[in-house]
């Protein structure tokens, strides 16, 4: 228990201890294909098969029809964009505010962001009947179209996220370049290239810190833009449920909430599976992230109240139809499960310290993530099924949307890919920043020399 | 679980045979036949209220081509976009008009329900569907020519088509009771004007009034008259008439949100590329720093 609760700042661990703790998972000589990876690859293979079939047969294999022309894929896309926003929340906001406790979890947040936004971009392509024409968006896209803005900003965010993941990692990569000499040749070569001749000189530190700072500032507006523009894809249409002026902040608030939950879930998995990490990710982190989840959850709740209550008070014709469908109609079970299980209950429970302990908060976070996903579906699909003109003279099945196995398989593939990217990343890079931990423990300039000396001594 | 399955299937070859049989027969069933419909007795006895004549058949064909052809195929063989049963089989023609009417109104599976459509249209469609099964009598198609006249004399714009059929001796005679449709050419589909129920009179001529306020470049419109009659080869004529209105706003060079990339509003152009440019400059600057960091470490 004591190792778990001690404040990391005061422990004064030696550099050697820190490096060996954090590089251990990369050093381990265990067989490189775990059961977990195999499971993910299996899901991906099924998804690839489904996708090939979909591309050859056409989008008819999905449940999307004339009315529900955006289905699970687009809902899932919005979800992935939302999750990816956490990179900027934890990294940029907490770092710029110099909130020290967040240091060990910034990289977790960043790799989640990179993986999620990369797959978000891919998910858009998966939703295309003619993916070979994807370049036409760039060649012939109209700048007036929010879709073009969205494609642009998603790619920008991906680029910035990758840079922001990489920059703070350079000193760590240099440490690995110099210490992990028993690795395969390609891996040593990769470290050598990525380490950029890092020697930890004062000038190098100065340039690196300035670059990180610039990126931290740049990622903020882009992060807000990515999810605001994603919300505009809906809000610029005057349709029931989308015709809202608060969609931008509503989406961003929701994204911060699910993002925080995603970090907690990932944090827990690293915490639970790698004993050495327990020294760095402590119950304090779960407690603080829990509070952050409550805060973001309350903001999101506030937006939800506005989003549903104001049109609910007016009950204009189509809005009313759409809302009744959500409140008491066909969508009601999912809607209330989402609102209560994914928002009200988590916020309420996490107000108590008991529930901010690692395991309870992990379980709560999983619920938050799952219901954040259903929430995105509830934003996209019911509106499409409430068109301005009544649905007439079409087959019965067009009145509803129930995703087909193909859609489920392809969507699962993207989730598996997100997890696989994170898994592979942890195989080759330390998920907890070494040099930042060193700094926290009073080793002010942990450049490679110190590390080497320290390690060679024994 | 898996073991159990294996015991169930693997140890008993008869089971496999039975399963294969069931599956293949299901497949065959699914691909060729639809389950029978439960048509209520009252519906079965309902009688077709319309008479079988040229006008009704024409209207039925028009409606069928518009609403049913895509799935059922041009000749009702069920060879359209979805497998949908054959209208020429004995099993189909053996049923009453009332039963067919009920099925069309009801719909099932991929067959939409046509309850919202006027009943007359459905009866006309049924009358037409019936002719699909009957072997077509081969009639020599006749040829005709069309002349369009525009008349503005009575302060009302009137467009008249005169149809002359070519007789066997090569002479031209007015063609009576022939269906003619009028269109105005638009960007995409042609716009039908004057309804779809215009037949020539005894002089072979048919007139409709021209709609007011149709926009056209410099007010010019391309007007078409087309023969739409089962006894004649297709014939048509397009003429230009300056009866439209010039809508200046349609053709100007203003920058607008709804136009193409050549007319992007300036504020949008500046903000879009301004934001992208700003971000790219920041990224470029950072990349330069990275290059510098790399250089600093050389040779140490």
A1 part of a folded domain:
no
The answer as to whether A24 is a domain residue is: no
B185 C-beta neighbours (distance < 10 Å), count: 14
Any B CB within 8 A of A389 CB: no
Mean pLDDT of chain B: 84
Residues B183 and B162 in one domain: yes
Question: Is the full-model pTM beyond 0.90?
Answer: no
Of the pLDDT bands very low, low, confident and very high (cuts 50, 70, 90), residue B289 is very high
Whether B99 maps to a domain, the answer reads: yes
Q: Burial code of A360-399, b = ≥16 C-beta within 10 A, e = fewer?
A: bbbebbebbbbbbbbbbbbbbbbbbbbeeeeeeeeeeebe
Contact list, A154 vs chain B (CB under 8 Å): none
pLDDT at A444 over 70: no
Quickly tell me which residue has 């060996």 as its tokens.
Answer: A20
Identify whether A392 is part of a domain: no
Least confident of A433-447, B10-24, B77-91: B10-24
**A211 Cβ under 8 Å from any chain B Cβ:** yes
pLDDT score recorded for residue B120: 92
Residue B105 falls within a domain, yes or no? yes
Helix axes A72-84, A202-235, angle to 10 degrees: 150
Domain final residue, candidates B75, B110, B132: B132
Share of chain B above pLDDT 90, in %: 37
Q: What is the pLDDT of residue A11?
A: 62
In a domain, A111, yes or no: yes
Please check whether residues B177 and B98 belong to one and the same domain. no
**CB-side neighbour CA atoms (13 Å) of B67:** 24
Q: What is the mean pLDDT of residues A205-224?
A: 93
Residue B20's pLDDT is 55
pLDDT value at residue A152: 93
Instruction: Compute the Cα dihedral for B275, B276, B279, B280 and give only its sign.
Output: negative
If asked whether residues B117 and B193 sit together in one domain, one would say no
In a domain, A94, yes or no: yes
- For residue B91, pLDDT over 60 is answered with yes
Q: What is the CATH number of the domain that holds B236?
A: 2.60.40.730
- Quote the minimal CA–CA distance from A193 to chain B in Å: 10
Q: For residue A89, what pLDDT is reported? A: 78
CA distance A23 to A385: 52
Instruction: Report the pLDDT value the prediction gives residue B300, as an integer from 0 to 100.
Output: 57
The token pair that represents A68 in the structure block: 């529900």
pLDDT of residue A5: 39
Q: What is the DSSP string of B157-206?
A: -EEEEEEEEE-TTS-EEEPPS-BEEEEE--SSSPEEES-S--B--TTSEE
CATH number of the domain where residue A285 is located? 1.20.1630.10
* B192 part of a folded domain: yes
Work out the pLDDT band at A29, boundaries 50, 70, 90.
low
The interface predicted TM-score of the complex, written ipTM, equals 0.87
Average pLDDT of the segment spanning B21-30: 48
Q: A5-14, A267-276, A422-431, B101-110: lowest mean pLDDT where?
A: A5-14
The B residues from 157 to 196 touching A (CB cutoff 8 Å) are none
A230 phi and psi angles, rounded to 5 deg: -60, -40
Domain encompassing residue A365: 40-385+397-435
Q: Which residues in chain B touch residue A211, judged by CB atoms under 8 angstroms apart?
A: 286, 289-290
Q: Is the pLDDT of residue B29 over 70?
A: no
pLDDT in tens, B123-167: 999 999 988 887 666 567 788 999 999 998 888 899 999 999 988
Residue A33 has a pLDDT of 64
The model's confidence at residue B22, banded by pLDDT at 50, 70 and 90, is low
pLDDT of residue A396: 80
B262 pLDDT band, cuts 50/70/90, is confident
Q: What is the pLDDT averaged over residues B35-62?
A: 88
Taking residue A34's Cβ as centre, other Cβ atoms within 10 Å add up to: 12
In our burial notation (b when 16+ CB lie closer than 10 A, e otherwise), range B93-130 reads eeebbbbbbbbbebbeeebbbbeebeeebbbbbbbbbb
Q: What tokens were used for A441?
A: 């423990």
The shortest CB-CB distance from B116 to any of A167, A211, A393 is to A393
Give the C-alpha separation, A271 to A3, whole Å: 13
pLDDT at A442 over 70: yes
The answer to whether residue B285 is domain-embedded is: no
In the numeric block, which tokens belong to residue B124?
């006309």
B4 touches chain A (CB under 8 A): no
Q: What is the largest CA-CA distance in chain A?
A: 81
A20 domain-assigned: no
- Tell me: pLDDT of A107 over 50: yes
pLDDT given for residue A8 in this prediction: 45
Instruction: Provide Rg for chain B, Cα atoms.
Output: 32
Closest-approach residue (CA) in chain A for B298: A197
**pLDDT tens track for B187-237:** 878 899 998 888 999 999 999 999 988 988 888 999 999 998 877 888 899
Residue B291 lies in a domain: no
Structure tokens at A418: 């997100």
- A215-257 confidence digits (pLDDT tens): 999 999 999 999 999 999 999 998 999 999 999 999 999 999 9
Residue B144: its H or E element:
strand B144-151
CB within 8 Å of chain A, chain B residues 95-114: 107, 109-114
Strands across the sheet containing B236-241: B191-193, B180-184, B221-227, B236-241
Kindly state whether B215 is in contact with chain A, defined as any CB-CB distance less than 8 angstroms.
no
Sequence-distant (6+) residues with CB within 8 A of A425 are A111, A115, A431
Domains held by chain A: number = 1
What pLDDT does B219 receive? Answer: 87
* B91-118: average pLDDT: 90
pLDDT band at A34 (very low <50, low <70, confident <90, very high): confident
Query: Which tops the pLDDT comparison, A133 or A392?
Result: A133
**Is B270 a member of any domain?**
no
Do B89 and B150 reside in the same domain of the chain?
no
Domain end call among B241, B273, B288? B241
| Interval A82-89 mean pLDDT | 88
Nearest-neighbour CA in chain A from B261: distance (Å): 5
DSSP B204-272: SEEEEEPPS--B-GGG-EEEEEEE--TTB---EEEEEE--SB--HHHH-----TTS-GGG--HHHHHHH
Q: Which residues 113-132 of B are in CB contact (within 8 Å) with A?
A: 113-114, 116-117
Residue-wise pLDDT tens digits, A138-193:
888 899 999 999 999 999 999 999 999 999 999 999 988 888 888 889 999 999 99
Q: How far apart are CA A310 and CA A327, in angstroms?
A: 14
Domain count, chain B: 2
CA distance B236 to A1: 91
In-domain check, residue B213: yes
Same domain, B122 and B156: no
Q: How far is B228 from chain A (nearest CA, A)?
A: 27
pLDDT at A61 over 60: yes
How would residue B257 be classed by pLDDT, with cut points 50, 70 and 90?
confident
> What is the phi-psi region of residue A44: left when phi exceeds 0, alpha when psi lies from -120 to 50, beta otherwise?
alpha
Which of B215, B241, B267 is a domain's end point? B241
The vertex-A92 CA angle with B270 and A143, nearest 5°, equals 20
Task: Give the model's confidence band at A447: pLDDT under 50 very low, under 70 low, under 90 confident, else very high.
Answer: low
Whether A166 is covered by a domain: the verdict is yes
Q: Which residue of B has its CA nearest to A192?
A: B294
Residue A416: is its pLDDT beyond 80?
A: yes
- Residues B285 and A218: their CA atoms lie apart, in Å, by 12
Sign of CA dihedral A226, A228, A234, A237: negative
Binned at pLDDT 50, 70 and 90, residue B9 comes out as very low
Q: Are B184 and B191 in contact (CB under 8 A)?
A: yes
Whether the per-residue pLDDT at B292 is higher than 60: the answer is yes
pLDDT range class, residue B76, cuts 50, 70, 90 = confident
Range of the domain at B92: 41-132
From chain A residues 143-172, the ones with a CB under 8 A of any chain B CB are: 143-144, 149, 152, 156, 159-160, 163, 167, 170
Query: Band of the pLDDT at B3, cuts 50, 70, 90?
Result: very low
Q: CA nearest A206 in B: which residue?
A: B293
Q: Can you give the CATH number for the domain in which B102 is found?
A: 1.10.760.10
Cα–Cα distance, B194 to B228 (Å, whole number):
14
pLDDT surpasses 50 at A2: no
Distance CA A418, CA A44 (A): 11
pLDDT top residue among A457 and B155: B155
Highest mean pLDDT among A26-40, A363-377, B75-89: A363-377
B152 is a domain residue: yes
Residues in CB range of B81: below 8 A, 6 or more apart: B70, B71
The residue of chain B nearest to residue A394, with distances taken between CA atoms, is: B112
Q: Which residue of B has its CA nearest to A212?
A: B286
Query: For residue B7, is pLDDT > 50?
Result: no
Could you tell me if B156 and B223 lie in one domain? yes
Say whether both B148 and B237 belong to one domain: yes
In sequence order, the 6+-apart residues with CB closer than 8 A to the CB of B10 are none
pLDDT for res A199: 86
Task: Check: CB of residue B220 under 8 Å from CB of residue B174.
Answer: no
User: Does A453 fall in a domain?
Assistant: no
């Amino acid at each position: 228990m004591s190792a778990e609760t001690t404040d990391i700042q005061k422990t004064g661990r030696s550099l050697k201890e820190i490096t060996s703790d954090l590089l251990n998972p990369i050093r381990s000589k265990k067989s490189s294909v775990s059961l977990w990876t195999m499971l993910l690859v299996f899901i991906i293979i099924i998804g690839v098969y489904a996708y090939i079939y979909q591309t050859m047969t056409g989008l008819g294999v999905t449940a999307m029809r004339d009315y529900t022309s955006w289905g699970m894929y687009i809902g899932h896309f919005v979800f992935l964009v939302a999750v990816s926003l956490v990179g900027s929340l934890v990294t940029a906001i907490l770092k710029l505010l110099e909130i020290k406790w967040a240091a060990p979890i910034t990289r977790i947040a960043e790799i989640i962001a990179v993986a999620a936004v990369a797959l978000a971009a891919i998910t858009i392509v998966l939703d295309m009947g003619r993916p070979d024409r994807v370049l036409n968006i760039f060649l012939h896209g109209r700048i007036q179209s929010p879709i073009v803005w969205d494609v642009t900003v998603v790619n920008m965010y991906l680029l910035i996220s990758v840079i922001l993941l990489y920059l703070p990692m350079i000193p760590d990569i240099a440490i690995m370049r110099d210490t992990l000499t028993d690795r395969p040749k390609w891996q040593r070569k990769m470290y050598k290239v990525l380490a950029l001749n890092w020697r930890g000189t004062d000038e190098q530190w100065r340039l690196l810190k300035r670059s990180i700072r610039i990126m931290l500032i740049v990622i903020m507006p882009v992060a807000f833009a990515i999810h605001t523009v994603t919300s505009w894809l809906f809000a610029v249409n005057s349709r029931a449920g989308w015709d809202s002026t608060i969609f931008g902040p509503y989406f961003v608030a929701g994204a911060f909430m699910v993002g925080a939950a995603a970090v907690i879930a990932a944090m827990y998995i690293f915490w639970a599976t790698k004993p050495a990490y327990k020294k760095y990710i402590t119950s304090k982190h779960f407690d603080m992230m829990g509070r952050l989840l409550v805060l973001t959850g309350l903001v999101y709740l506030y937006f939800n109240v506005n989003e549903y209550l104001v049109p609910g008070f007016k009950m204009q014709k189509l809005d009313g139809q759409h809302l009744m469908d959500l409140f008491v109609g066909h969508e009601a079970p999912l809607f209330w499960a989402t609102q209560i299980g994914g928002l009200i209950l988590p916020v309420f429970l996490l107000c108590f310290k008991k529930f901010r302990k690692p395991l309870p908060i992990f379980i709560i976070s999983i619920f938050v993530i799952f219901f954040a996903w259903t929430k995105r579906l509830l934003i996209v699909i019911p509106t499409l099924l409430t068109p301005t003109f009544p649905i007439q003279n079409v087959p019965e099945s067009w009145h509803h949307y129930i995703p087909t196995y193909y859609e489920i398989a392809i969507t699962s593939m993207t989730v598996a890919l997100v997890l696989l990217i994170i898994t592979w990343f942890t195989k080759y890079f330390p998920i907890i920043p070494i040099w930042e931990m060193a700094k926290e423990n009073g080793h002010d300039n942990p450049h490679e020399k110190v590390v080497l000396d320290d390690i060679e001594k024994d | 679980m898996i073991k159990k399955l294996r015991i169930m299937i693997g140890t008993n070859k008869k089971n496999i045979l039975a399963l294969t049989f069931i599956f293949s027969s299901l497949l065959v069933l699914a691909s060729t036949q639809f389950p029978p419909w439960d048509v209520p007795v009252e519906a079965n006895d309902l009688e077709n209220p319309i008479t079988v004549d040229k006008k009704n058949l024409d209207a039925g064909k028009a409606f069928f081509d518009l609403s049913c052809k895509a799935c059922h195929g041009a000749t009702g063989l069920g060879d359209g976009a979805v497998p949908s049963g054959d209208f020429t089989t004995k099993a189909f023609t053996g049923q009453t008009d009332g039963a067919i009417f009920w099925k069309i109104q009801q719909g099932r599976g991929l067959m939409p329900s046509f309850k919202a459509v006027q009943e007359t249209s459905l009866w006309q469609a049924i009358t037409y569907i019936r002719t699909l099964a009957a072997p077509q009598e081969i009639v020599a198609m006749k040829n005709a020519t069309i002349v369009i006249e525009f008349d503005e004399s009575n302060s009302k714009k009137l467009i008249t088509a005169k149809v002359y059929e070519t007789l066997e001796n090569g002479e031209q005679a007015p063609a009576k009771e022939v269906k003619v449709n009028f269109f105005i050419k638009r960007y995409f589909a042609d716009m039908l004007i004057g309804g779809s129920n215009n037949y020539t009179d005894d002089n072979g001529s048919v007139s409709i009034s021209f709609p007011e306020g149709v926009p056209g470049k410099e007010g010019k419109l391309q007007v078409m008259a087309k023969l739409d009659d089962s006894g004649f080869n297709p014939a048509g004529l397009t003429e230009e008439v300056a009866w439209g209105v010039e809508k200046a706003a349609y053709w100007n060079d203003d920058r607008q949100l709804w136009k193409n990339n050549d007319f992007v509003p300036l504020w949008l152009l500046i903000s879009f590329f301004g934001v992208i440019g700003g971000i790219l400059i920041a990224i470029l600057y950072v990349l330069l720093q990275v290059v510098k960091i790399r250089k600093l470490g050389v040779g140490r």
